[in-house]
A and B are shown apart, each in its own frame.
Chain A
Amino acid sequence: MVESAAPILEVVSITNRFAKFTAVNDVSFAVREGEFFTLVGPSGSGKTTLLRMLVGMEKPTTGELRLRGKVINDLPPNLRPTCMVFQSLALFPHMTVGKNVEFPLSIRGQSSGECRTRAWELLKLLHLDPHRYYDKNVSQCSGGERQRVALARALAYDPEILFFDEPLSAIDARLRKVLQKELKDLQRSTGKTFCYVTHSLEEAMVMSDRVAILRAGVIEQIGTPDEIYGAPRNAFVAEFMGEVNLLPITGLGGTAATWDTGRKVIPLTLPAPLAAGTARKLLIRPESLRFLRAGESAGNSVPVRILNEFSLGSRIQYHVEVASDCTLTVQRLREERTAATEAVLGWELADSQILET
């Protein structure tokens, strides 16, 4: 359903250049009607600049922004049918919760009765009891409540696209998880297009229909969370996804390669042929690695020393040493726990991927 939807916002080779520094370099993508789209990148990747251009607070140096086919480059934010939830939330400190939510409505000249009715609806939608919160001062609200007020205020504007600039980054981990789910539910129930910016790929994967990964002002990969998880385009994307093993390898022709650990060169077999002398990274997920029992064989195997064991609840994570200063992360189910200190680590060829660096 989402796949077939028409693009609501098209970004066509947009560039933003400060004096010498190019924050966003020739970026193009399209946000589809009704989807939850997330821009994710480490700090300094240009994601905030890109977002500020999308909402109209910054002008692109070159390139075009099209909203439903219409170029909106020069439209100021107050005339755009889009709206943003700020990282700082930017609630109006001198107004009550109710007046904050009513702000975009009263600006449009709606009567105070209409404003009030809509504000009550929105507060209820966001699980804030209007009887308690309508007349409350925003400074008396907790972090999570403030998030909801900011969201209600943005929804009151009734935007075609709702943008988010990492609004959850200052919230503690448990509440963040709750709010992520609520945000996703809200997006589904309202059917609005959400465009979210974050530095956490994990957060992006949880909520989004599609994710764009940004590095140094350039988009590295766009796709559904499954696509990105299943086939990261390069080592940067794979590494950004969290704890993965990336082995520096050099092809020897055919599927033979060497892994240079710094101290030791280990021969490996690759899942696909690689030209001799080419340097690549081999991606192996921690859960694809396993300790081989005596006599058992796998596509590749290396002797390792087990350094540390961490409990992750139902799973156990091991840090194992292949050679000095070269460790791998292994994740096994609790039932497969091992007490040994020396072991042979193995993985199947199909569980590894060759990535460009």
Chain B
Amino acid sequence: MSATPSVPAPKPPREFSPAFFGTVCSLPFFLLMLFGFVAPLLCVVWFGFMPAKTFALLQMPTFANYETIFNQTYFKSILWSIGLATVTVLTLLVICYPLAFGMAKIFRGGASFITYAIATSLFVSENIRLFGWVIGFMKNGVVGGTLAKVFDVQIDSLLYNIPVIILGMVYVYLPFMLFPLVLGLKMVPDQVREAAFDLGASRWQVFKKIDLPLSMPGVLIGSLLVFVLSVGAISEAKILGGQKVVTIASDIESEFTYAQNWPLGSALSTLFIALTTVVVFFALGRFDLEKLLGKKRSE
């Protein structure tokens, strides 16, 4: 009986599963999100529970800051922010929907021209564009000066009121509404519209029953984008509005800078983030994107 020498099994070649590979590849992004987003966010939330006007994180947590917020008139700034953002979203919907419809379905070469023209305006810093408006609207500025010189009409400064703030916000956030709307409308298949028209629907009925419901994903995404951006807007109200309106974002800024009250600023930020999140999730839950796109498979 001869013993066969046992041959050690060859080591299997090292294999990377797609899951492992994916994990490794997403690691940089994961770390960036962890240290750049999650950690600071948690810091802010935690800082909100520190005693007012202190700068240390290791103290006994307290609700004092939130009491301050509810006892004072910060709710006014929050309402202003939400109000301005809502008006901006609604105004932009009215302005952008027809334009987006044209760009997606009617204009041919013109659509890319409009896209480039609007995208180019994004190359200039927002603050510079807003100061441009200031030069235009201030007393004896471009508008007032021209009117005085040409028509001999004296007008006061057009700045520092609520309509001009909304004008500025509408102007700054227009691309964020327009492009999602164009994409949303482009997703409405032409043959589906033609079929509705062929089945007896008038142009208006085609719009109401086909275009509008099928472009809702674009409407929803554009509105959320503009709402989230404009609710945290600060420059429009500051530069164009002077101190006429104080938004929550400028309240937070002044707590962190002028007042040197970081815990109160943090508490305001936390409250504001929570509020925005609730609004966004409410909107997302209300309009089921998948259902709107007809892609939901319930079985």
Interface of A with B (CB < 8 Å)?
Answer: 55-57, 76-78, 83-84, 86-88, 90-95, 103-104, 107-108, 137-140, 153-154, 157
Q: Can you name 27 A-B pairs with beta carbons within 8 Å?
A: A57-B194, A77-B197, A77-B198, A78-B198, A78-B199, A83-B198, A83-B199, A86-B191, A86-B194, A88-B189, A90-B189, A90-B194, A90-B195, A92-B192, A92-B195, A93-B192, A93-B214, A94-B292, A94-B294, A104-B200, A107-B201, A108-B200, A137-B297, A138-B294, A139-B294, A140-B299, A154-B199
Q: How far is the CA of A92 from the CA of B214 in the complex (A)?
A: 9
Q: Let me know if B121 is at the binding interface, CB within 8 A.
A: no
B191 touches A107 (CB 8 A): no
Which chain A residues lie closer than 8 Å to B194 at the CB level?
57, 77, 86, 90
Complex Cα gap A56–B200 (Å): 12
Chain A proximity mask over B179-217: 1 for CB below 8 Å, otherwise 0: 000000000010110111111111001000110011000
Which of A92, A95, A139 has the most CB atoms of chain B within a 10 A radius of its CB?
A92
Q: Are the C-beta atoms of B191 and A90 separated by less than 8 Å?
A: yes
Nearest-neighbor residue (CB-CB) of B216 within chain A = A94
Known: A94-B213, A103-B201, A137-B297. 19 other contacts (CB 8 A): A77-B194, A78-B199, A86-B195, A88-B189, A90-B192, A90-B194, A90-B195, A92-B192, A92-B196, A93-B192, A94-B214, A94-B294, A95-B294, A137-B296, A137-B298, A139-B295, A139-B296, A154-B199, A157-B200
Tell whether A107 pairs with B199 under 8 Å between CB atoms, given A90-B194, A93-B294, A137-B294: yes
With a cutoff of 8 Å between Cβ atoms, the chain B residues found around residue A92 in the complex are 192, 195-196, 209-210
What is the 8 Å Cβ interface bit string for chain B, positions 263-299, against chain A (1 contact, 0 not)?
Answer: 0000000000000000000000000000011111111
Most chain B beta-carbon contacts within 10 A, residue among A84, A90, A137, A140? A90
Spell out B's residues near A (CB within 8 Å). 189, 191-192, 194-202, 205, 209-210, 213-214, 292-299
Give the complex CA separation of A77 and B197 in angstroms: 6
Residues of B within 8 A of A140 (CB): 297, 299
Give every chain B residue within 8 A of A84 (Cβ-Cβ). 195, 198
A57 to B195, CA, bound (A): 10
Best-surrounded residue of A56, A87, A88, A138 (most CB of chain B within 10 A) = A88
Who on chain B is nearest to A79 by CB?
B200
Q: For B295, list chain A residues within 8 Å (CB).
A: 93, 139
Residues of A within 8 A of B195 (CB): 84, 86, 90-92
In the assembled complex, the CB of A146 is this many whole angstroms from the nearest CB of chain B, namely 12
- Chain B residues within 8 Å of A86, by CB: 191, 194-195
**Cα of A139 to Cα of B291 in the assembled complex, Å:** 11
Contact A153–B296 (Cβ < 8 Å): no
Please give me the residue from chain A that is nearest to B205 by CB atom: A107
Establish whether residues A107 and B213, one from each chain, have CB atoms under 8 Å apart when the complex forms: no
- Asked whether, in the complex, the Cβ of B197 is within 8 Å of the Cβ of A76, the reply is yes
A180 to B196 Cα, complex, angstroms: 25
Q: What chain B residues lie within 8 Å of A55 (beta carbons)? A: 198
Contact across chains for B192 and A104 when beta carbons are under 8 A apart = no
List the B side residues contacting A91 at CB < 8 Å: 192, 195
Q: Which of B196, B296, B299 has the most CB of A within 10 A?
A: B196
B285 to chain A minimum Cβ distance, whole angstroms, is 18
**Given the complex of chains A and B, what is the CA–CA distance between A205 and B295 in angstroms?**
38
